Structure 1
Amino acid sequence: MVRESVWVGMRGRAYLGSSAPWRGVVYLVGGVLLGVLVLVGGVLGLTLGLALTLVLVGLPLLPLLALTGIPIAALERHRLRIVDPAPRAPTPHRTPEAPGIPAWFKLRVKEQATWRELAYAVLLALVLWPLDLLMLACTLGAPALLIGAPAQLALDGGEIRAAKLWMISDYPHAFAMALLGLVLLAPLLYPLGAYASARAALARLLLAPREAELATQLDEVTRSRARLVDAFEAERRRIERDLHDGAQQRLVALTMTLGLARLDAAPGSPLASQLATAHDEAGNVLTELRELIRGIHPQVLADYGLAAAIEDAADRSTIPVDTDLDLPRLPEPVESAGYFATREALTNIARHSNAHRAHIRARHERREVLRIDVRDEGDGGADPTRGTGLTGLADRIAVLDGTLTVTSPPGGPTVLSVEIPCRAQYPQALAD
Structure 2
Amino acid sequence: MNRLWWLELPAHVFRPAELWKTFRIALIGLPVAVLSLAGNIVLFVLTVVSLALIPLPFIGFTLFPLVTLVTRAVMDVHRRMAGWVGVDIPRPYRPVPSTAPLGTLRRFKHAMTDPATWLDFAWLIPGAISGFVLGLVAFILPTYGLEGVLHVPLLIYGLTGGYGYGVVWPFDNWFEAWTAVPQGALLLTIGLTASPFLMWVHMRFTSFFLAPTKKSQLVERVQVLTDTRAEAVDAQAAELRRIERDLHDGAQARLVSLSMNIGLAEELIRRDPDMAIKLLAEARESSGTALTELRDLVRGIHPPVLAERGLDGAVQALALTVPATVTVDVELPGRLEAPVESAAYFAVAEILANIVKHSAARTAWIHIRHDDGLLTIGVGDDGEGGADPAGGTGLRGIERRLAAFDGTMMVSSPPGGPTVVTMELPCTLSSPKTSPSSGTA
Q: TM-score normalized by structure 1? A: 0.47
Q: TM-score normalized by structure 2? A: 0.46
